[in-house]
């Protein structure tokens, strides 16, 4: 049976060009980029400098030395938040973020709360948005950091980051954004966005897992998260993951070069899925924005009266890979914090499925999902006590037919 992979917000396949770009650094160029007194190390150092320049250019950073490679998106988020909090604690102890951030951001904020910091978690509207006005109203004299994600991984909300960064700048507060889901899905130019820090992870755009970066604008006060040697301008110890960084740089180059073509295709696949599923299945709710402010590849729909996990199992039997929320949240019985924050009732949130398409998703794959999903939902509802109660008129529906 063919596998239909529609979980690209969780991770993506490593493309062949990326694999090939990495291979050189697993074979011929294997030196330590910090061992610059001999040629083996120098070759690694030269390569690293080239990659840093390439990445800075593709992201629209002003200087290559503002790019700090990390071991993941989670590390970049943790570093940005804990590092800025501790470095600026003499100035204040208040941080502003949103209720729909990735767990890397929320977990770092909760850690800081246990260590003397105060965090405001902004409410979002029914589509997942916070407004620049909301952020401005939350700023206090002791506010030192604002962290708002560029695009949400569960429901695809694209936040007004440029406007929020302008507010932060006006109030001289450091601004961080988790742009992990944005890369390859929308144009990103750091200087235009006006943020002080920005997180990226390679495996979300066909790079390898275990490598990411944090952009830190020169002049931003931030403490180290990883202490040790003097790598990454003394800010992040650890011998550089040259092959991983080569993969990140190549994947980014390809993502940026093909952005217009890829996003147009993904939008078409996304919209075919949304229209097809909403049109053929009753008692459903689309989660997230319905306009241009939705990530080009994200489909998140709640199916009333049934469980997301049961849908996933049936989808898997049909060879279709999807997600019932974020990868981090699945496995726990709590409904997604993102769906809770946008006001989806508990019972409905439990029956939510996220399909995230890629540039390689085909019309045939979409057709197949549109053929399978109504069958799966009908079957599961036929076994659902909740659906039986609903049909007997003892339970109201919370969605539209």
Ligand X SMILES: *Cc1c(COP(=O)(O)O)cnc(C)c1O
Give the catalytic positions in this structure: 328
Asked whether position 180 contacts ligand X by CB under 6 A, the answer is yes
Closest approach, Cβ 101 to ligand X, in A, equals 8
Beta carbon nearer to ligand X, 108 or 144: 108
Asked whether position 153 contacts ligand X by CB under 6 A, the answer is yes
Beta carbon nearer to ligand X, 201 or 323: 201
Here's the x/- map for ligand X, 29-68, by CB under 6 A: it reads as ----------------------------------------
Q: Which of these, 315, 304, 366, 356, lies nearest to 152 by C-alpha position?
A: 356
Beta carbon nearer to ligand X, 205 or 303: 205
Asked whether position 74 contacts ligand X by CB under 6 A, the answer is yes
Asked whether position 200 contacts ligand X by CB under 6 A, the answer is no
Closest approach, Cβ 180 to ligand X, in A, equals 4
# binding residues, ligand X (CB under 6 A): 15
Contact 96, 291 (CB under 8 A): no
DSSP state of 83: I
Asked whether position 97 contacts ligand X by CB under 6 A, the answer is no
Q: Which residues make Cβ contacts (< 8 Å) with residue 123, sequence separation at least 6?
A: 99, 130, 134, 341
Helix (H) or strand (E) holding 5: strand 4-5
Beta carbon nearer to ligand X, 78 or 93: 78
Residues 101-140 that bind ligand X (CB under 6 A): 102, 104
Asked whether position 341 contacts ligand X by CB under 6 A, the answer is no
Asked whether position 73 contacts ligand X by CB under 6 A, the answer is yes
Q: Token pair for residue 171?
A: 């109030």
Asked whether position 98 contacts ligand X by CB under 6 A, the answer is no
Closest approach, Cβ 107 to ligand X, in A, equals 11
Stretch that binds ligand X, among 108-116, 125-133, 196-204, 283-291 (CB under 6 A): 196-204
Asked whether position 276 contacts ligand X by CB under 6 A, the answer is no
Closest approach, Cβ 40 to ligand X, in A, equals 30
Residues 313-332 that bind ligand X (CB under 6 A): none
Asked whether position 251 contacts ligand X by CB under 6 A, the answer is no
Residue showing tokens 């063919």: 2
Strands 174-178, 143-147: parallel, antiparallel or unpaired by DSSP?
Answer: parallel
- The b/e string for 37-74 (b: 16+ C-beta within 10 A; e otherwise) is eeeeeebbbebbeebbbbbbebbebeeeebbbbbbbbb
Q: CA-CA distance, 46 to 44, in Å (whole number)? A: 5
Q: How many CB atoms lie within 10 A of CB 303?
A: 26
Q: How many CB atoms lie within 10 A of CB 399?
A: 18
Q: What is the DSSP string of 218-231?
A: TT-----SS-SS-T
Residue nearest to ligand X according to CB distances in the complex: 73
Asked whether position 72 contacts ligand X by CB under 6 A, the answer is yes
Closest approach, Cβ 301 to ligand X, in A, equals 19
Q: CA-CA distance, 162 to 222, in Å (whole number)? A: 22
Beta carbon nearer to ligand X, 14 or 395: 14
Contact 120, 130 (CB under 8 A): no
Closest approach, Cβ 70 to ligand X, in A, equals 9
Among 8, 177, 201, 263, binds ligand X (CB under 6 A): 201
Can you name the residues that pair with 213 across neighbouring β-strands? 69, 200
Asked whether position 399 contacts ligand X by CB under 6 A, the answer is no
Stretch that binds ligand X, among 168-176, 198-206, 214-222, 344-352 (CB under 6 A): 198-206
Instruction: Give ∠ CA 77-322-372 in degrees, rounded to 5.
Output: 165
Beta carbon nearer to ligand X, 31 or 208: 208
Q: CA-CA distance, 143 to 157, in Å (whole number)? A: 25
- Backbone φ/ψ region at 212: left (φ over 0), alpha (ψ -120 to 50), beta: beta
Stretch that binds ligand X, among 72-80, 135-143, 258-266, 369-377 (CB under 6 A): 72-80
Distances (CA, A) of 112 to 6, 81, 93, 206, 219: 35, 9, 9, 32, 23
Residues in contact with ligand X by CB under 6 A are 72-74, 77, 102, 104, 149, 153, 178, 180-181, 201, 203-204, 212
């Amino acid at each position: 049976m063919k596998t239909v992979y529609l979980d690209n917000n969780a991770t993506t396949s490593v493309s062949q060009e990326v694999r090939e770009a990495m291979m050189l650094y697993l074979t011929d160029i294997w030196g330590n980029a910090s061992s610059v007194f001999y040629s083996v190390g120098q070759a690694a150092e030269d390569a690293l400098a080239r990659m840093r320049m390439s990445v800075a250019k593709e992201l629209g950073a002003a200087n290559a030395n503002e790019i700090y490679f990390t071991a993941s998106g989670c590390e970049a988020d943790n570093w940005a938040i804990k590092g800025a909090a501790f470095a600026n604690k003499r100035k204040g102890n208040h941080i502003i973020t949103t209720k729909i951030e990735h767990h890397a951001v929320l977990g770092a904020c909760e850690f800081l709360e246990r260590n003397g910091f105060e965090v405001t978690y902004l409410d979002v509207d029914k589509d997942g948005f916070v407004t620049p006005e909301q952020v401005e109203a939350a700023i206090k004299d002791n506010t030192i950091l604002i962290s708002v994600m560029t695009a949400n991984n569960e429901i695809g909300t694209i936040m007004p980051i440029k406007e929020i960064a302008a507010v932060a700048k006006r109030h001289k507060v450091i601004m961080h954004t988790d742009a992990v889901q944005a890369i390859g899905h929308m144009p990103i130019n750091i200087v235009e966005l006006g943020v002080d820090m920005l997180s990226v992870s390679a495996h979300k755009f066909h790079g390898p897992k275990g490598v990411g970066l944090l952009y830190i604008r020169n002049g931003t006060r931030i403490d180290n998260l990883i202490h040790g040697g003097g790598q990454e301008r003394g800010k992040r110890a650890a011998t550089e993951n040259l092959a991983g960084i080569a993969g990140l740089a190549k994947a980014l180059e390809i993502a940026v070069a093909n952005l217009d073509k890829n996003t147009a295709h993904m939008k078409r696949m996304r919209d075919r899925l949304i229209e097809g599923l909403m049109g053929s299945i009753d008692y459903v709710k689309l989660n997230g924005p319905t306009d241009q402010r939705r990530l080009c590849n994200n489909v998140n729909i709640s199916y009333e009266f049934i469980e997301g996990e049961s849908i996933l199992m049936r989808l898997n039997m049909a060879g279709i890979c999807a997600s019932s929320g974020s990868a981090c949240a699945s496995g726990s019985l709590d409904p997604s914090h993102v769906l809770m924050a946008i006001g989806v009732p508990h019972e409905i949130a439990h029956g939510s499925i996220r399909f995230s398409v890629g540039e390689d998703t085909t019309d045939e794959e979409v057709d197949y999902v549109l053929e399978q999903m109504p069958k799966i939902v009908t079957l599961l509802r036929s076994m659902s006590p909740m659906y039986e109660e609903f049909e007997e008129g003892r339970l109201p529906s919370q969605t539209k037919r």
